[in-house]
């Protein structure tokens, strides 16, 4: 098995065209679809659930907050990628000013208190693609909730039902 | 070390407030900054480089394509998260129609040919947060290039220089 | 900028040798080093902390359990890769029998109760490379602890100190 | 929808027991199974393929090299986690000496030349859990191959067939 000729045969192909295609097609979501309504989660905050990947724990949310909103301090166990669609916000723990178009990359295991500026010209809309748990504390520092891709999906569906809004689950990308 | 009292002492704290904060602040990028100009990469395609994480290989690009653009088939070794800021596009291998607001989640190891519709009402602008290599083939299926977070950053800087555009590298998030 | 000659210049290089090297050298850990002692965490369970990556939240642990050990049910928010160095174990929720050499890949967001078989021929030693939170529940299903890369490192160092064992922190790979 | 009572109802549950279980059971692999034979890949190097995750591109390999083996320089687009089961090796670009039990964590986008020491007391056996592409160059720096989770699986199966070794594909964890 180890003479030159055989080794030649055994070497992997150098032709990148021979790389096989993933059996998984891209998952495409149109958040403007009628079947993906804004759902209220409390405090006049609205959200839409767009995707969840059960193998990575990554999921996608659209969240909408009125000017002046401050949400309870939370901590992510995974990374977060965020894109600001409109409005003006920051984390109380940091000093950036995010506006339409701003991108944020967060490292695992950091605590944040999201604050929409009182003078935000419109509701703040944030798109996040994130992994892991989101752990929320109340004002006294007591644990309020542990959430993840699965609980956020369950919330979206149950809050929609409670608010008589119809969700077409088939529009949500489940990987 | 194993009697009850000691075990009590040894148990991890149940208070999530004791979870230490990540030493890494969020990386914030404003793509509208003067110091992050659109740079032409050929075929009237423009791009901006926003972030790179050397520990994960994840990086963020903004790309702008004229209506009708079709780019060479490429393959990603990692996953891709994309958000359509404006315009209308698809992959020739799939049948979705992405418009402003559309989200796409791609699995590792798939080949795609991005096509902006001829009737796209404006340039197509795509934000991607992606990992791994991007391998590009020419029309004959021959390897053209292997790119990643590092080569895309190098391209952005060198093309900007060649086009007499000033980049403020400190605005790019390097994790 | 868009005539043929320029486009030629602008195309990315097809030579993979031009791919720049990561500035981060591999992180190498020898768990047999004197400076990385086994530390008791309670219930005669010992552990060593080997690596943590602050950008991914991934970290590496060596854990040693006496035959018959059953640890409280826990849930991981990220994925887990495990390699059994010695001993015989399972999860009560599943039906595999892991022995020396066995590999386990766990998906995010699953709950497990690790049980070392009473007839395990020796202590069970498990190497895990894992991401995200580890959430532990007591027998009544109440939250006991939320742990991650950072809390596990802090535990390793403080338990070692409490047990008069010297840890050489410089041996632990911090990315 | 925004008076106190409703908000109370809308708040996420603080009970972590309500976190739903992942529908994906852990994937368990016993590399000592008859159905997972060592397969020769050339240069007297043997390998076994243990797992692949199509959503993350992560996969697991066992590789066995005779003392003195030096393999062509390669580059990973993703991260690599490695555990040395036996033998003694290094990367020519670094200065560590890995022996039985050693752990290595590699960052994306680094080039390495694996060398098993001539005086390795036995074949070197390495377990790796890795993501992304593996790009191999020949001695003149020319591209030899681009490989990933899918091509490595295909190689394992085809080399086994060529060598009249039976593989039980159902033993390989496909996520």
What pLDDT sits at residue A18? Answer: 59
What pLDDT sits at residue B3? Answer: 39
- Statement: residue A169 has pLDDT above 70: yes
Candidates B60, D47, D125; CA nearest to A103 is: B60
In C, which residues are within 8 Å of D103 by CB distance?
A: 28-31, 50-51, 60, 127, 173
In A, which residues are within 8 Å of C79 by CB distance?
A: 55-57
B96-101 long-range contacts (CB < 8 A, ≥24 apart) are: B96/A26, B96/A28, B98/A28, B98/A30, B99/A30, B99/A32, B101/A30, B101/A31, B101/A32
Token pair, residue C4, equals 């043929």
Instruction: Give CA–CA dist A62/A172, Å, rounded.
Output: 12
| Mean of pLDDT values over D31-35 | 97
Q: pLDDT higher for C141 or A45?
A: A45
Average pLDDT, chain C: 87
- Statement: residue D97 has pLDDT above 80: yes
Summarize pLDDT for A120-142 with one digit per residue, the tens: 999 999 999 999 999 888 888 77
Mark yes or no for CB contact C78/A132 under 8 Å. Answer: yes
* Confidence (pTM): 0.90
Place B18 in a pLDDT band, splitting at 50, 70 and 90: low
Summarize pLDDT for C137-157 with one digit per residue, the tens: 888 877 888 888 888 898 899
Summarize pLDDT for C1-60 with one digit per residue, the tens: 333 334 434 444 435 555 667 777 889 999 999 999 999 988 999 999 999 988 888 999
Candidates D160, D175, D162, D174; CA nearest to D35 is: D160
Nearest CA-CA distance, residue A2 and chain B, Å:
30
Q: Which value, to the nearest 10 degrees, does the dihedral of the CA atoms of residues D19, D24, D25, D31 take? A: -140
Summarize pLDDT for B81-131 with one digit per residue, the tens: 999 999 999 999 999 999 999 999 998 988 899 999 999 999 999 999 999
In B, which residues are within 8 Å of D107 by CB distance?
A: 54-55, 57
Instruction: Give CA–CA dist D36/D166, Å, rounded.
Output: 8
Mark yes or no for CB contact D145/A55 under 8 Å. Answer: no
Token pair, residue C130, equals 């894992």
Within a 10 A sphere around the Cβ of B18, how many other Cβ atoms? 12
| Mean of pLDDT values over D57-80 | 94
DSSP letter, residue A70: B
Summarize pLDDT for B154-168 with one digit per residue, the tens: 889 989 999 999 999
What pLDDT sits at residue A145? Answer: 83
Summarize pLDDT for A22-44 with one digit per residue, the tens: 777 889 999 999 999 999 988 99
Nearest CA-CA distance, residue C134 and chain B, Å:
11
> Is the Cβ–Cβ distance between A169 and A47 less than 8 Å?
no
What pLDDT sits at residue D147? Answer: 87
Mark yes or no for CB contact D27/C105 under 8 Å. Answer: yes
Mark yes or no for CB contact B110/A24 under 8 Å. Answer: yes
Nearest to C57 among A77, A146, A148 (CB): A77
Question: What ipTM did this prediction achieve?
Answer: 0.89
Place A7 in a pLDDT band, splitting at 50, 70 and 90: very low
Place B150 in a pLDDT band, splitting at 50, 70 and 90: confident
- Statement: residue B15 has pLDDT above 80: no
Q: pLDDT higher for A72 or C64?
A: C64
What pLDDT sits at residue D13? Answer: 41
HSE, side-chain direction, 13 A CA sphere, residue D95? 0
Token pair, residue B31, equals 């793509």
- Statement: residue D51 has pLDDT above 90: yes
Residues of A with CB under 8 A from a CB of D: 1-2, 6-7, 9-14, 16, 18-20, 22-24, 40-44, 53-56, 136, 143-148, 150-151, 154-155, 159, 162-163, 175
Average pLDDT, chain B: 87
What pLDDT sits at residue D3? Answer: 39
| Mean of pLDDT values over B43-57 | 92
The strand pairing partners of D129, in sequence order, are D60, D81
Nearest to C11 among B7, B42, B154 (CB): B42
- Statement: residue B173 has pLDDT above 50: yes
- Statement: residue A50 has pLDDT above 90: yes
Contacts of D78 (CB under 8 A, 6+ apart): B57, B77, B78, B131, B132, D57, D58, D108, D130, D131, D132, D133
- Statement: residue B2 has pLDDT above 60: no
In D, which residues are within 8 Å of A10 by CB distance?
A: 40-42, 159, 162
């Amino acid at each position: 098995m180890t003479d030159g000729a055989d080794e030649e045969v055994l070497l992997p192909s150098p032709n990148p065209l021979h790389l096989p295609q993933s059996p998984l097609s891209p998952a495409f979501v149109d958040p403007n679809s009628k079947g993906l309504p804004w759902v209220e989660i409390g405090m006049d905050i609205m959200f839409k659930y767009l995707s969840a990947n059960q193998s990575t724990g990554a999921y996608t949310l659209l969240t909408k907050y009125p000017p002046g909103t401050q949400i309870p301090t939370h901590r992510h166990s995974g990374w977060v990628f965020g894109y600001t669609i409109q409005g003006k916000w920051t984390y109380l723990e940091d000093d950036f000013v995010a506006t339409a178009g701003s991108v944020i990359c967060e490292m695992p295991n950091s605590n944040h208190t999201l604050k929409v500026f009182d003078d935000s010209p419109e509701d703040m809309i944030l798109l996040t693609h994130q992994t892991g748990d989101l752990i929320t504390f109340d004002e006294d520092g007591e644990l309020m909730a542990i959430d993840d891709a699965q609980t956020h999906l369950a919330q979206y569906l149950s809050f929609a039902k409670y608010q008589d809004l119809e969700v077409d689950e088939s529009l949500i990308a489940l990987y």
